[in-house]
């Protein structure tokens, strides 16, 4: 006597080979569409990461620009006629915004990094011991 439960005890029904084949044929187009959508989204994710990683050095230059603008804002606070038509606090806000945007951009690119992928520009950075 076997210890396995019978189909009637578990509520399972036996299906014929034709019904299983029909179920497979009906589900196949839906599985293909779902796989294509998943592959498209995955490819878009990797492409977006590659493009955003390529732009990261350009955006990081905004940090340098923000630092220069901080000096300009200091000069405008000391001598307001150095920037006619623009208040010194506006220059200060632009400098802070520029630096914050560049840092946020780097954090965002790190956040959307696909699993197992590294920064493509990592090999060009200095590695100080």
Domain assignment present for 119: yes
Domain assignment present for 129: no
Q: Can you give the pTM of this predicted structure?
A: 0.68
Our CA dihedral for 48, 49, 54, 57, rounded to 10 degrees, sits at 120
Q: What is the mean pLDDT of residues 8-14?
A: 61
Domain assignment present for 47: yes
Provide the mean pLDDT of the chain: 85
Domain assignment present for 25: yes
Domain assignment present for 46: yes
Residue 39 and residue 22: Cα distance in Å, rounded?
26
Domain of residue 100 covers 15-124
pLDDT at 8: 55
Domain assignment present for 102: yes
Residue 12 has pLDDT above 70, yes or no: no
Please, are residues 119 and 53 in contact by the beta-carbon 8 Å criterion? yes
Domain assignment present for 41: yes
Q: How many domains does the chain have?
A: 1
pLDDT at 1: 53
């Amino acid at each position: 006597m076997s210890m396995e439960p019978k189909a009637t005890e578990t509520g399972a029904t036996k299906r014929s080979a034709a019904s299983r084949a029909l179920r497979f044929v009906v589900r196949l187009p839906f599985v293909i569409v779902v796989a294509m959508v998943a592959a498209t989204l995955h490819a878009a994710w990797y492409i977006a990461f590659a493009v955003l990683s390529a732009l990261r050095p350009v955006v990081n230059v905004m940090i340098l620009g923000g630092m220069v603008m901080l000096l300009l804002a200091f000069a405008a606070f000391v001598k307001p006629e150095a920037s006619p038509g623009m208040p010194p606090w506006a220059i200060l806000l632009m400098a802070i915004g520029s630096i914050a945007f560049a840092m946020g951009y780097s954090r965002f690119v790190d956040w959307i990094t696909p699993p197992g992928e590294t920064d493509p520009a990592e090999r060009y950075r200095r590695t100080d011991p």
